Amino acid sequence: MPFPVAPYESCSFCLDLSGDRECAFVAENEFAAAEVNERQYEQGAMLIIPKNHRETILDMREHEVDAVDRLPKRMRMA
């Protein structure tokens, strides 16, 4: 079932991944990256994002979902 998303000019996560916008990456794997949340409410809050642009989580492939799931589990051991 399609999930309508309003059009936008650019994706802030894609800008982060391409280096076109300043951000701080903490960790990554082949298909996902963790960056410091610039609007964090709690110390240490991070965003885990897929490296390939996806409109919604429903558009992610199974291997991307797995990669996003594995990354915080690896980081909690650090």
pLDDT digits (tens, 9 = 90+) for 1-22: 776 777 778 899 999 999 999 9
Residues of the chain short of pLDDT 50, as ranges, are none
Residues in the chain: 78
Among residues 44, 39, 37, which one has the least CA distance to residue 78? Answer: 44
- DSSP-derived 3-state class of residue 63: helix
Return the CATH class of domain 12-75: alpha beta
> Sign of the CA dihedral 55, 56, 59, 61?
positive
CA distance 52 to 24: 18
